[in-house]
């Protein structure tokens, strides 16, 4: 009988999701790039030293490749090419280093693992380059991220300043008592579409996401999706310092990510604002992010 500390032998009939990760694209499978962008230097809340990208990669081993809902084995349709972690993305030349990674090869989807929400600024500005005005942005976030200065509270404002069209920005599940009238007015002046948490509750996440895709992707423009985990209920994301009670459920988040990734206009999606050092002993925050990555892969695998 195995001891309490032993690890059971792998089951060849139960391949883990970690087996999807490879070092190069595979023929006949859609390609998804996995990129770590561990921003932290400008965070408004001090962060621990733990690497969220590394923790999420490890957590993938907790799950299988089989989507029961779709009767789909991700191993048949998707290859996850691990591009590694960008060195000091917050440092001097960090955005250029992010750009060098995200532009080095084509992919059906880039999955960016933060880091704090500054990763959104680095990744989208790198992807958009001089054509940032041609992109749309959808955020799932408790906050508007329109602060002045340079921090994890300012990426949307920085992107607007760099040329992103505010009329093609949609912010989903913005929380009560987590923003201010000043920044609400700034969002309205920029032409941003904001659907607060209460509207999402009334309409349902699928309907809101469908409308968001129509606004951000008008004219068949490419879309970047930012999933700030503080949009979720604090009970399910203890590793997210700014999350509040009453946020989106884990199920709503999984539904939204799968639906978004299923749309071919969505070229990149990030998962940010997870501090592994603050997570619960059962790793519920990190494991949710790993599941969201798998939901994104399932969405890509079902693209027509």
Element housing 72 (H / E):
strand 72-73
Confidence (pLDDT) at 4 = 47
In this predicted structure, the answer to whether residue 288 has a pLDDT above a threshold of 60 is yes
State how far the Cα of 21 lies from the Cα of 290, in Å rounded to an integer. Answer: 13
| pTM score over 0.85 | yes
In this predicted structure, the answer to whether residue 255 has a pLDDT above a threshold of 80 is yes
* Paired tokens of 180: 């201010």
Helix, strand, coil in percent for the chain, rounding step 5: 40, 20, 40
Confidence (pLDDT) at 8 = 59
Mean pLDDT value across residues 166-195:
98
What count of Cα atoms within 13 Å lies in the side-chain half-sphere of residue 125?
21
Mean pLDDT value across residues 34-45:
92
In this predicted structure, the answer to whether residue 182 has a pLDDT above a threshold of 60 is yes
State how far the Cα of 211 lies from the Cα of 54, in Å rounded to an integer. Answer: 34
State how far the Cα of 273 lies from the Cα of 282, in Å rounded to an integer. Answer: 18
pLDDT, tens only, 20-39? 999 889 988 999 999 999 99
Question: Which residue from 186, 180, 53, 196 is spatially nearest to 116, judged by alpha carbons?
Answer: 53
What count of Cα atoms within 13 Å lies in the side-chain half-sphere of residue 202?
5
| Other CB atoms within 10 A of residue 152 CB | 28
Residues 245, 250, 252, 256, CA torsion sign? positive
> In this prediction, what percent of the chain has a pLDDT beyond 70?
97
CB 254 within 8 A of CB 96: no
pLDDT band at 167 (very low <50, low <70, confident <90, very high): very high
Residues 6+ away with beta carbon under 8 Å from 28: none
CB 218 within 8 A of CB 136: yes
CB pairs under 8 A, 24+ apart, for 144-147? 144/171, 144/174, 144/179, 144/183, 144/184, 144/186, 144/187, 144/192, 144/194, 145/117, 145/120, 145/228, 146/183, 146/186, 146/187, 146/190, 147/183
Mean pLDDT value across residues 290-295:
98
Confidence (pLDDT) at 6 = 45
Question: Which residue from 28, 24, 22, 109 is spatially nearest to 57, judged by alpha carbons?
Answer: 22
In this predicted structure, the answer to whether residue 9 has a pLDDT above a threshold of 70 is no
In this predicted structure, the answer to whether residue 78 has a pLDDT above a threshold of 60 is yes
Question: Which residue from 113, 105, 97, 101 is spatially nearest to 36, judged by alpha carbons?
Answer: 113
Chain-wide mean pLDDT for the chain? 94
Mean pLDDT value across residues 80-109:
92
State how far the Cα of 156 lies from the Cα of 154, in Å rounded to an integer. Answer: 6
pLDDT, tens only, 52-64? 999 999 999 999 9
| Other CB atoms within 10 A of residue 27 CB | 5
- Which segment of 5-19, 135-149, 206-220, 228-242 scores lowest on mean pLDDT? 5-19
What are φ and ψ of residue 21, in 5° steps? -80, 130
């Amino acid at each position: 009988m195995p001891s309490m500390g032993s690890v059971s032998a792998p089951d060849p009939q139960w391949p883990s999701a970690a087996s999807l990760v490879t070092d190069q694209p595979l023929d006949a499978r859609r390609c998804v790039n996995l990129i770590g962008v561990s921003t932290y230097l400008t965070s408004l809340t001090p962060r621990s030293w733990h690497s969220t990208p590394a923790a999420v990669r490890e957590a993938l081993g907790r799950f299988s490749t089989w989507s029961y809902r779709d009767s789909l084995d991700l191993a048949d349709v998707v290859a996850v090419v691990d591009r590694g972690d960008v060195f000091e993305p917050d440092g001097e030349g960090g955005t250029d280093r992010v750009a060098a990674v995200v532009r080095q090869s084509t992919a059906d989807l880039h999955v960016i693992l933060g880091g704090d929400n500054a990763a959104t600024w680095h990744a989208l500005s790198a992807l958009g380059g001089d054509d940032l005005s041609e992109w749309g942005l959808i955020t799932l976030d408790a906050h508007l991220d329109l602060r002045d200065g340079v921090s994890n509270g300012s990426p949307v404002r920085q992107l607007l300043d760099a040329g992103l069209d505010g009329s093609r920005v949609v912010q989903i599940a913005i929380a009560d008592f987590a923003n201010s009238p000043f920044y609400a007015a700034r969002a309205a002046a920029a032409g941003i579409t904001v659907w607060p948490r209460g509207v999402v509750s009334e309409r349902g996440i699928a309907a809101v996401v469908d409308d968001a895709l129509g606004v951000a992707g008008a004219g068949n423009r490419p879309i970047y999706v930012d999933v700030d985990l503080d949009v979720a209920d604090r009970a399910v994301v203890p590793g997210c310092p700014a999350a509040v009670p009453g946020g989106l459920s884990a199920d709503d988040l999984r539904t939204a990510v799968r639906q978004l990734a299923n749309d071919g206009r969505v070229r990149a999606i990030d998962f940010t604002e997870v501090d592994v050092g603050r997570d619960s002993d059962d790793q519920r925050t990190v494991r949710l992010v790993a599941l969201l990555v798998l939901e994104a892969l399932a969405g890509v695998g079902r693209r027509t």
